[in-house]
Chain A
Amino acid sequence: MKINKNVALSDSGFVFNPSTGDSFSTNPIGLEIIKLLKEGKSMDYVKASLLKTYTIEEATLERDCYDFANMLMKFKLTEADEKAEN
């Protein structure tokens, strides 16, 4: 999963999609996920990174990341998955 190149992110968690004009607010963890994806990291890398940083059960993290990824796709913030760095 890759975040569209032109999606703008601010440190406050404000996300702007210039193609559609939509804007969103996300919490610090959401921001961290989007930033990593925007850097070209894979979702597996993101999950491993979150698992290392936060105290969370793997199954819960898996489910939450799945939901979040679906939301990103639904809001058209992603592009077709290409070669992502692990």
Chain B
Amino acid sequence: MKKRKINIAVTGLNAIDSPGPGISVIRALRDSEAFDVRIIGLSYETLEPGIYMHNLVDKTYQIPLPSAGASVLLERLQYIHRKEKIDLIIPNFDAELPGFIKLKKELDKKGMKTFLPTMVQFDARHKVNLSEFGKKHRIKVPFSKMIFSANEIGSLKEDFSYPLVVKGKFYDASIAYSPDQVHSYFNKISAKWGLPVIIQEYVFGSEVNVTALGDGTGVTVGAVPMRKQYITDKGKAWAGISIDDKKLMSMTRKLIKSTKWSGGLELEVIKTSEDEYYLLEINPRFPAWVYLSVGCGQNHPEALVKLAMGEKVKTFTKYEIGKMFIRYSYDMIVDLSEFEKISTLGEL
């Protein structure tokens, strides 16, 4: 079968110790049997490794940080579009998604497709709204509370026992064993991600995650559950294995059906020793380990491209159990001239 040529812009090129999903998404797209992809990397920092991975990324452009606002982003994307004729954009950061969701119609008019959750879906699953989300969809969620000031830390003992989890509104989570540690994490996390900071009950158990794709009508196009086997000090999976967990799959399908989720997503769940499942987070995009889905026989990023292009997609009915991913670090040697180009011209 002849592959169709398509230009796809992808963010999340930060393949670092707490990696963005971009490189995994790109690898999945490169494995596509339907598309011959040209990858346009969209980066925020000059040291995102993906910028220099020319075997995966054909050309990279710097884009403005989400704090610059949607109109500045649109202007930059239009510039890139004029040069590259982007068919589709796959944003991979939680923090940038609101900007892309706002621009969805505008981008579509200009020929740049996206396949994203709606703003309502994005907001409903937000960490700060997760308790309500759990109640609405009858899913167990650890008790959590938002705090806006360090003065509130002293009174946490009324609602929580230690350890507890201190979380940023977009990223970062640390386990605190004392009010002093909460103080320290509160300062660190609020300085990086702003307020509120979320305090969450700590649930003991094993961490299981699901990468999935919803078609926007309630259908789960694909889903692969994974258990983390090796967790870094940043809480990221360095190794994981696909598992046969029917309850987790049923929870995923139920969530996608009831929210009519559109796009990729990751469920982060704790499974207790009593086989109870607590939903910790719903990430509104593919996870950094999404390439495992390809290894298990479900190419979720490729299916997302088809959905975005308005094509019919068959739902995946099976996946390989017992497939593992093991992440590794790798030192690239890069010429200063490349770093200079991306630093001064904003493209490479």
A53 within 8 A of B: no
Interface string of B294-338 (1 = CB under 8 A from A): 000000000000000000000000000110000000000000000
- Is A6's CB within 8 Å of the partner chain B? yes
User: Considering the chains assembled together, what is the distance between the CA atoms of A6 and B128 in angstroms?
Assistant: 39
A51 on the B face (CB < 8 A): no
Cross-chain contact B322 with A18 (CB below 8 angstroms): yes
Say yes or no: is B243 at the interface (Cβ < 8 Å to chain A): yes
- CB B14 to nearest CB in A, in angstroms, measures 27
- Tell whether A6 pairs with B244 under 8 Å between CB atoms, given A20-B227, A21-B229: yes
Residues of A within 8 A of B244 (CB): 6, 18-19
Main secondary structure of the interface of B (DSSP, over half): strand
Q: Is the CB of B322 within 8 A of A20?
A: no
Say yes or no: is A71 at the interface (Cβ < 8 Å to chain B).
Answer: no
| Contact code string B238-261 (vs A, CB < 8 Å = 1, else 0) | 001111110000000000000000
A48 located at the interface, meaning its Cβ lies under 8 Å from any Cβ of chain B in the complex: no
Q: Is B206 part of the contact surface with A, judged by Cβ < 8 Å? A: yes
- Residues from 199 to 248 in B contacting A, C-beta threshold 8 Å: 206, 226-227, 229, 240-245
Complex contact A18–B206 (CB within 8 A):
no
Residue-wise, chain A 9-30 has the 8 Å CB interface mask toward B (1 for contact) of: 0000000101111000000000
Shortest CB-to-CB span from A17 to chain B, Å, is 9
Residues in chain B near residue A21, CB distance under 8 A: 226-227, 229, 240-243
Cα of A21 to Cα of B242 in the assembled complex, Å: 7
Nearest to B227 among chain A residues (CB) is A21
User: Is A84 interfacial (CB 8 A cutoff)?
Assistant: no
Instruction: Give B85 Cβ to nearest chain A Cβ, in Å.
Output: 43
Are A18 and B227 in contact, with the CB atoms below 8 A? no
Q: Which residues of B contact A8 (CB under 8 A)?
A: 322
Contacting residues, chain B, for A18 (C-beta < 8 A)? 243-244, 321-322
Whether the Cβ atoms of B322 and A19 lie closer than 8 Å is no
Give A11 Cβ to nearest chain B Cβ, in Å. Answer: 17
**Shortest beta-carbon distance from A10 to chain B in Å:** 11
Min CB–CB distance A18 → chain B (angstroms): 4
Residues of B within 8 A of A6 (CB): 244
Q: Which residue of A lies closest to B208 (CB)?
A: A21
A59 to chain B, nearest CB (A): 32
| Residues 26-65 (chain A) with a chain B CB within 8 angstroms | none
Is the CB–CB distance between B322 and A16 below 8 Å?
A: yes
- Chain B residues whose CB sits within 8 angstroms of the CB of A16 once the complex forms: 322
- List, sorted by A's number, 9 A–B pairs whose CB atoms are closer than 8 Å: A6-B244, A8-B322, A18-B244, A18-B322, A19-B243, A19-B244, A19-B245, A20-B243, A21-B240
Residues of A within 8 A of B (CB): 6, 8, 16, 18-21
Chain B residues packing against A (C-beta within 8 Å): 206, 226-227, 229, 240-245, 321-322
9 tightest Cβ-Cβ pairs between the two chains A and B: A21-B227, A18-B244, A21-B241, A21-B243, A18-B321, A19-B244, A16-B322, A18-B243, A18-B322
With A8-B322, A19-B245 already in contact, 6 other A-B pairs whose C-beta atoms are closer than 8 Å: A18-B321, A19-B244, A21-B226, A21-B227, A21-B240, A21-B243
